[in-house]
Structure 1
Amino acid sequence: MAITSPKVPVCQALKEKVKSARKRSSRRVAKKFCDAVLDCPKLRNLKMRKAKEKRVVVANVTLPSCSWLARKRGLKTKITELMVHGYWVAVSSARECES
């Protein structure tokens, strides 16, 4: 009969626990990125799909397939964020001070 340490079952249990934690973590990461396709992001709902089809005029240039996301105004600049073909674009422009 072989002599075994009483710590062997504890060590095996810890190994199993670490192994299952790694599986869960990798599943979460895989689930997060499984729908991502380069240059073709998945549109989550109808509202985003409709916004993507609209044409938006930015600085006298018409950009197809854009959607306004936000406009922020600083003291002397205006920053406009929009999505162009699935990429975030931030356009900033100088403006006169408001008096």
Structure 2
Amino acid sequence: MKDDGTYFMSNGLPHLPGKDIHNHVVHAKGWGPGTENELRETPVGGDDFAEYFQLTEPLSSDATTTLLEQLRAAAADGMRWLELEVSKESVGIAFSD
């Protein structure tokens, strides 16, 4: 798969039994395929930007829950959107319906 657009992707390790091992991606709203050139005008500054999130560790030193726990709680509360706010200094995470 050629990188195209802005998306969230899991390495899926370990892979789920019986599933194909291709990476599955979820594109950002408004940043789907064909928008990679527009990234140059954002704080990200171009393509090939990557930010890694550990699902099983707290997001910061003052966090008490892991990202996975936060994702599960948000889904249980009916939240459908994961919102990332990216700047040169930080990445913020929020959930919304």
User: Which has a greater percent of strand?
Assistant: 1
Which is greater in Rg?
Answer: 1
TM-score, normalised on structure 1? Answer: 0.19
Which structure is richer in relative contact order (CA contacts within 8 A, separation 6 or more)? 2
